[in-house]
Every structure is written in structure tokens, then in C-alpha cells.
Structure 1
Amino acid sequence: MVATLGSGESGGSVYIMDMSGSVDFPTVSLNACGRIGRVASSDRTVWTADCNPDGTQVVLGTNNGAALLNLETGALSWLYRCKSDILSQQFVHSGNVVLCGLRNGSIVSIDVRQRHSNLPRGLASSVTAGRTLPVLSARHSARGRNQADKAKASGIMSSAVCSLVALSSDENYFLGSSMDGSIKLFDLRLIQKGAIQSYAGHVNSHTHLPLVVDPSETLLMSGGEDCTIRIWSIKTGEQIFAQSVADVLFTALCWPESSLNLDGSSSLFDLNHSWGAWMGSRDGLFYMHGT
């Protein structure tokens, strides 16, 4: 799934890229038209999007609220209306709750199983390239304006929330980071009381930097604006790794979920290393590994 911000002339969109077949990377740009399909459009800025675990629903974070797209029926509805941009989103493991991080520092948890307001019939679709696509319009009903009353919110971060990660081992826990470099661990059951763990050392001021967690959910990693990769113990908060591995800012990070390639073969990068992670930058793709 790929989300685009949009521009001054048009809003953002959400696309689905088919990765089920083999990928010929030298010609991937030539084959992109057949692999990528737009599934939703908006007249608003789309800052972020996330797909639920079973791939049936997509949540969109815009400059005036969150919306839910049902990929099976094409229905699009408002989840939450707000005056602050939604910069980060994350479904919890069950897919029943989505976390939304706002520019004003609030983190909102929304139960997607509750009834939400569908878009008016005349605003729900448009025809693009011969296909009917759901369109998220800035107009909304009174019921849509009241969705904030059903959400649980707390101004718990000191600046804009740029990344959220829900832990699958216990979906009550999630990690959040803000633009001022703060990284914290929260318990949804105690969210009004603030964070239960903090992670010091992260450097950020204005960049949308991601947090990533390793498959065992014991390590947390992020790249700072000082071009330094840092790794913390999620449990203790101790920083166990900090190194400038390249003179470049990493804006995309990924822990491999397994040691297998897309075709099922063993990954050459993971055979002799205790751990490894991918890092993306404007200069290229990097791989960092442990001993």
C-alpha cells in the first residue's frame, strides 16, 4: 500500500501494489502500471495510511481527520474529525482499534467496529481512468463531527506525533515518537496517566522519522537527524547501539520478518548474522547487521 500527499491542485490518494508475483527490479518502473492500482482519492492531504492485518480495511490520516476504507465493498466513512493533521497511524494486532498521532501531540485510539458516518452518496465516488474510486470529501455530516466524542484522546506527546508502533505480543502497549525527539512506551489502559517508559538519545526536530521494532519485540530502532542509528531495549529503555553508519539521513527502516526472500529462498544477508535491518535514504538502500 502506498499513500501520496497530493498537491495544491489535487488531494492525496491511496494505491495498492501487487507483490504476489516475482519482481524484476531493473524493469519494475516499466511494469508499475500493471502492478499499481488506485483504490481511493481525496480532496484533502493524505499524510499517512495503514492497512489492517487481514487486508480488508485501510485507514487514512488527513489534514482534517481519519477515514476508513473497506477494500471489499468500497465503502468510505469518517472515523474521526479534528482540526489537527493526522501524521501517523497504526492498527493494533487485532485490527479492531486504530491509533492516530496528531500534529498537536495527541494520540487518539478509535474502535473501528463502532458505527461511523458514511459519505453522502453524491460525494462518495468519482470516475478516473474508467474506474469508480471512493473519494474522501471535506464535507461531512453532523454524525461525522461527533466522532471525536467516541474516540479516546490525550495530549500525551510534547510535539507532533510522527510515528506509532503497536506491539503484537500485547496490543495494550504501543510506542510513539514526536518531532522533538521524544520516544515513549504507552499502555492504552493507562493512557491518561502518560508514558510508562522513555527512550533517551533520539535526535529529531522536523523530520518524519519512523520507529521500527524487531520481530521478537525486544529491540526498538530509529534513525536520527544526526545520521545516527540507535537501538534501545524496549523493556528497560537502555540504549544499546548508537552509530553513524553513513553520512545520510535514514527516513525508512525495516526489520526483516524472516530470513527468507520473496521467492522463499534463504536470504544471503541473514545466514551468518545474529540480526539485520534495512535502511532507506535518498542516497539508496542500506543493510546493517549484527555479529
Structure 2
Amino acid sequence: MVATLGSGESGGSVYIMDLSGTIDSAMGSWTACRVASLDRTVWTADCSSDGTHAAFGMDHGAGLLDLETRGLSWLCRSKSDILSQKFVHSGNVVLCGLRNGSIAPVDVRQKRHNHPTGVPSASTARRTVPMLRSKHQGRWRNQADKDKCSRYISMSSAVCSLVTLSSDENYFLGSSMDGCIKLFDLRLIQKGGIQSYEGHVNSHTHLPLVVDPSETLLMSGGEDCTVRIWSIKTGELIFAQSVCDTPFTALCWPESSRDLCGSSLFDVNHSWGAWLGSRNGLFYMHGT
């Protein structure tokens, strides 16, 4: 799934690509199919683990898209932009990270408004979703929306990345644009972060977090162009190295060495390895 930000003249869109097929030899890429067009900026999007639903975060709210029926519905509305999102592994909850520093867990099983005023039917070819504002700025439009986003976790700055753990979906990691990274437990929301990870450098950039397949290591690249790896359990910084002169704004930890296209370069059984992307290019970084 791919989401586009949009521009001053048009809103963002959500696309899906089937990566199981062959690459179009003429285009040199997979074909993307647009499944939703919005009349607002799309800051983020995420797909459920079973591939049936997509959540998208915009200015003033979040929506849910049924990828099978193409039906659209609201998750919640908010005054602050939703900059990051993540489904928990079961797909029952979407975590929404807001510009104001809040993280809102939203239960997708709650009754939703499928066709708000101004939203065309699901059969419409171009599915445009206008975001509705509340009558009074800063207040929820109705009690249902308030209930869906009433349980908040607060971070010290805009939430730029969220990562859930499949081993226990009560736990998730969040990072904010002031360099703060914390581990949270959905069962202990009022307690705040239960583990912190020191050393990350950020001031305003949308930098991602990634965890390794065993969910023991956490990686992020900072604005200081340094890649850092922490122990998720202890919070200990176990690796820090500057490897590029521009920040890494895309990170991916392969599930296994077999995911690396079978290249002989990656046949060595490294202790760890990950893909890193920056304006300078795509890099593969590995341990011993």
C-alpha cells in the first residue's frame, strides 16, 4: 500500500500494489491501483495484517477503507493532524499518532459512520472523502467520536512513528519529533511510557522506527545521520554509527536473508541486517 500526500490543488490518495506478480517490463515497476481519493492531505496510512482494511490519517481525522468492498468510514475526527498510524496485529485497533503529541488507540470494531454528508456511495468511481469539521473548533462532533478517541497517551512532541509488536499486541513503540522514543503498554495508558530509548536525534523530521523479526532490537536513523540500535527489553543502546551524510527516512528489516533477492552479497549469515534509504540512495547495513 502507498499513500500520496497531495498538493494545494488536490488531496492525497491511497494506492495498492500486488507485489506477488511480475514487474511490468515496459514500465520497470509494479502497477499501482488507486483505491481512494481524498480532498485532504494524507499524512500516513497503514494496512491490516490480513490485507482487508487500510487506515489513513489526514488533517482533522482518520478514516478506514475496506479493501474488498472499497467502502469508506470514519475512525475518528480530531483537530490535530494525524501523522502516523499502525494496526495492532489482530487488526482490531489502530494507533493514531497526532501532531499535538497524542497517541489515540481506536477500536475499529465500534460502530462507524459509513457515509457522512458529502461522501459519495461506495460504487462511485472516484471516492472522495471530505473531512467534516465540528460545529465548535476543538470539540468532538458527537459523543461517539469522543468515545473512540478518549483514551490518549501523550508524548512530548508530534508523533512521527509507531511500531506494534506482534508477540504481544499490548505493547508498541512510539517516537516524537523531539527525539523521544518510548515503549508503551495499552493496558497501562495512564502510566505513560514503560521504557525509554536514549540518544536519538530529531527536531522536525518524519523519521521511522523499525524492529527486527525477533522483536528484540529497535533501529532508527537520526537527523545527525547516525544509525542507532537499542535492546527493546532493556533500553540499552548497543550500536551507533554515522554511515551517511543525509538522514535515513526509510528503514526496513528483512524477515530473513532469503528476502534479499538471493544475491551472493547477502548469502553470509550475518548477525543482523537492514535496508536504509536516504536522498543519497539505498543501503544495506549488517552486523558481523
Question: Within the alignment, does 1:285 sit opposite 2:254 as a pair?
Answer: no
Q: Distance in 2 between matches of 1:31 and 1:165?
A: 31
Matches within 5 A, 1:40-119: 40-119=36-115
Question: Could you give the per-residue CA deviations for residues 248-280 of structure 1, whole angstroms, max 9, x where no partner exists?
Answer: 2100001001221477x4774153312100000
- CA offset digits 1:131-184 (Å, max 9, x no partner): 813221123799964413223432520000000000000000000000000000
Q: Cα deviation per residue 1:96-153 (whole Å; 9 max; x = unaligned)?
A: 11100000000000110111011247522599xxx81322112379996441322343
Gap runs ≥5 in structure 2: none
Unaligned 5+ runs, structure 1: none
- The question of 1:137 aligning with 2:134 is answered no
Does structure 1 residue 258 correspond to structure 2 residue 256?
yes
RMSD: 2.3
Is the 8 Å Cα contact of residues 45 and 56 (structure 2) preserved in structure 1? Answer: yes
| Cα drift, residue 48 of structure 1 | 0.2
TM-score, scaled to structure 2: 0.92
Cα distance in 2 between the residues matched to 1:108 and 1:267: 44
Equivalent residue runs for 1:209-288 within 5 Å: 209-261=207-259, 265=262, 268-288=265-285
* Shift in CA distance, 279/73, structure 1 to aligned 2, threshold 3 Å: same
State how far apart, in whole Å, the 1-side matches of 2:258 and 2:197 are.
31
Mark the CA change 1:79 to 1:126 in structure 2 (over 3 Å): closer, same or farther: closer
Q: Retained in 2: the 8 A contact 1:116–1:144?
A: no
SS in 1 for 2:258: coil
Counterpart residue identity of residue 57, structure 1: H
In the superposition, relative to structure 1, how do residues 155 and 173 fare at CA in structure 2: closer, same or farther (>3 Å)? closer
Letter in 2 for 1:58: A
- Structure 2 CA distance for partners of 1:125 and 1:7, relative to 1, 3 Å: farther
In structure 2, what residue type is equivalent to 1:273? H
Kept in 2: contact 1:106–1:153 (CA 8 A): no
Q: Which amino acid aligns with 2:65?
A: L
CA distance in 2, matches of 1:162, 1:10: 23
Tell me the percent identity. Answer: 72
2-structure distance, mates of 1:267, 1:252: 24
1:63-111 superposed Cα distances (whole Å, 9 cap, x missing partner)? 0101000011111001100000000000000011110000000000011
Number of residues of Structure 1 aligned to a counterpart in Structure 2: 283
Note the alpha carbon deviations across 1:219-240, whole angstroms, 9 max, x for none. Answer: 0000000000000000000000
